[in-house]
Structure 1
Amino acid sequence: MDSNTPLLRVTAFSAAALLVLTACGDNGDDDTDVDEGNGADVETDETEDDAEAGDDAEAGDDGDAEAGEGDGEELTVALFGEEPYSWLDEESGEPTGATIAVAEEIFGERMGYDLNIVEEPEWGNLIPGLAAGQWDVVSAGMSINEERCAEAAFGEPELVYTTAFLVEEGNSEGLETFEDLEGSDLDVIALSGAVESGWMDEMDIDHDTVDNAQDGIDFVEGGAADVFALTAASLEAMAGDIDGLEVTESFEHELSVGAHTFRLEDEEMVEEFNENLDELMDSGEYLDLVSEFGFSEDQMPPSGLTAQELCEEDPEELADEYLED
């Protein structure tokens, strides 16, 4: 792509602006250590009987006082501003989205952590920030693939994604899949570090990248780009009602499945998270949580699919096995 195109001039401006925003939104040391004086761990002068009575009252009628691993410790969770997965509500400023609902249920309600949810404005910073200890978990529906598995650990599969294009209303080029972009002179963009960009790299499709989803939408709306490739659910949620724009029919390029993301060394946390996730999936409570954000049974992962398979096995073979219908 010509470096003098309007897109790249806008991209350069956006990158500079995002650098300023990132600096302003820096979590600093983002030290998530909990004060050692946490009241849950402090012995009191209560008699043993009083303490047991208090435990029973907190546990409920069955007197089961078993707590989650968190036990009131703070857990910092990073979100990325992309509907319908995770974002900050414009009016309240509160975190919301399908993955946030799951994080609040599992980490907060079931594992006993106090959640500190922060926004990372650049997709490409999510895993590096995780490795650097800026946050403990990423709740952004990140797709599991071999490259990412070398840098982070993933919980078990949660949501299956399809892809779509954001184009000018009418879709004059008749775009349906990535194959339609091969050899074209269209200005195409994707999210930096996203699977769509990786797929286009593999197919030698010329494209540029942006750091956040809203920039991609703005570039197409403003005429600086012809096509923005992203998950269909995100484009429908964020741009489906914009006059003059159109979200194409969704398609499956490869098996793309999102999950919560952890540091490689946090094996025990991943294990406990997966146990709770499995309970939610089996009971149907998981679908209840995410359906409020537009997800349905169609987006649930295929039975038997594991994060390990997505990390280690050939994507085309997995697609043949699990997307045969």
Structure 2
Amino acid sequence: MKKSLMMTTVLAGIALGASTVAAMAGALMDRINAGESIRIGFANEVPWAYPGEGNAPLGFVNAYVLGVLGEMGYDNIEPVVTDWGGLIPGLQANRFDMITGGMYILNSRCENVTFSEPMAKVSDAFIVQTGNPEGISTYTDFVAKNATMVTGAGFNTIEAAMKEGVPEAQIMQVPGPTEILAAVKAGRAAAGAVTFFTAQELARNSGGEIEVTDPGALPEWTQNWVGIGFRHDDTDFVAAFNEAQAKYLGSDAMLASVAEYGYDAKVLPGDETTEWVCANR
């Protein structure tokens, strides 16, 4: 009787342990253990993450994630392309396993997504004529130099500039990046305000006439951190991903893989943790 009771207790303990391991494993590890692909979800956001021929995962976030997964020993990757608004719902609905679209870590998103540790710190930046003849590197420089800033209608940079004291009369609003580039090249504006990666893309297409200012010169509150998004129940995989990321982030191999998309050492995320970013953005 005692032996039977002991065996029952042991078996119950084994079953409980097995169920605990299963619960900790999460849907993504279940897929990996079953030999299925890791599905990465992204939208069409150049140069962050976008589809190439046959939905090939292009962009610096995709290149980065493929590098981290490679460090972990995973190469069975399946791209899933959706619109930006479908990224978080698609992750939650198990249509893919991680978001590689270049998503800012925000408090409101942290409620629905478990983010990796940051892989980039992104700010606004300015495009200026090569040599930066008017010496623009911050929003307050427009005030001090009575200079004109050009940006896109509806862009966040309008609000940011006005918060820094730039008079509305000194802010030229145009339809988008093409017109911003044209205004700076023609000298109708001292600088164009856009996101850092948009600035990089415009400079690359300017024939050497345009350069990009250092985004680190702008106020801390204009900067955001980018993470890779996972389901909350995949925390075991996130921990392993973060461990591999810590070794890969900033390495020569990593920087070489993303250089063509404009990511360089200035975009490395620094020491802030996802916990801090979730609480402060």
Sort the TM-score into its range (normalised by shorter chain): 0.5 to 0.7
Shift in CA distance, 189/285, structure 1 to aligned 2, threshold 3 Å: closer
Matches of 2:154 and 2:254 in 1, distance apart?
Answer: 27
Q: Do residues 219 (structure 1) and 179 (structure 2) align?
A: yes
**Taking every aligned residue pair, what percent have the same amino acid on both sides?**
17
Q: TM-score, normalised by structure 2?
A: 0.60
Matches of 1:240 and 1:166 in 2, distance apart?
Answer: 11
Q: After the TM superposition, which residues 130-169 of structure 1 pair with which residues of structure 2 at under 5 Å, given as runs? A: 130-133=87-90, 136=96, 137-146=98-107, 148-149=109-110, 152-168=113-129
Matches of 2:249 and 2:58 in 1, distance apart?
Answer: 20
Counterpart position of 2:81: 118
Once the two structures are TM-superposed, the CA of residue 309 in structure 1 deviates from its matched residue by 0.2
Q: Do residues 291 (structure 1) and 251 (structure 2) align?
A: no
Counterpart position of 2:228: 260
Q: Do residues 100 (structure 1) and 72 (structure 2) align?
A: no
Counterpart position of 1:32: none
1:135-168 CA-to-partner distances (Å, cap 9, x unmatched) read: 6443233333445546654221112335421245
Where does structure 2 lack aligned partners over 5 or more consecutive residues?
Answer: 1-27
Matches of 1:201 and 1:88 in 2, distance apart?
Answer: 36
Taking only aligned residues, the RMSD between alpha carbons, in angstroms, comes to 4.2
Classify the secondary structure of the residue corresponding to 1:187: strand
Once the two structures are TM-superposed, the CA of residue 103 in structure 1 deviates from its matched residue by 2.9
Q: Do residues 312 (structure 1) and 260 (structure 2) align?
A: no
Classify the secondary structure of the residue corresponding to 1:243: coil
Q: TM-score, normalised by structure 1?
A: 0.54
Once the two structures are TM-superposed, the CA of residue 293 in structure 1 deviates from its matched residue by 1.9
Counterpart position of 2:211: 247
Letter in 2 for 1:259: G
Counterpart position of 2:268: 300
Residue 150 of structure 2 is aligned with which of 173, 187, 190?
Answer: 187
Number of residue equivalences: 230
Once the two structures are TM-superposed, the CA of residue 202 in structure 1 deviates from its matched residue by 4.4
Classify the secondary structure of the residue corresponding to 1:230: strand
Once the two structures are TM-superposed, the CA of residue 306 in structure 1 deviates from its matched residue by 1.0
Q: After the TM superposition, which residues 36-75 of structure 1 pair with which residues of structure 2 at under 5 Å, given as runs? A: 68-71=29-32, 72=36, 75=39
Between 217-226 and 199-208, the greater mean CA deviation after superposition: 199-208
Matches of 1:172 and 1:285 in 2, distance apart?
Answer: 32
Higher relative contact order (CA 8 A, sep 6+): 2
Shift in CA distance, 249/147, structure 1 to aligned 2, threshold 3 Å: same
Matches of 1:208 and 1:69 in 2, distance apart?
Answer: 53
Letter in 1 for 2:45: G
Counterpart position of 1:280: 245
Bigger share in helix: 2
Shift in CA distance, 269/190, structure 1 to aligned 2, threshold 3 Å: farther
Where does structure 1 lack aligned partners over 5 or more consecutive residues?
Answer: 1-66, 121-125, 316-325
Q: After the TM superposition, which residues 17-32 of structure 1 pair with which residues of structure 2 at under 5 Å, given as runs? A: none
Classify the secondary structure of the residue corresponding to 1:292: helix
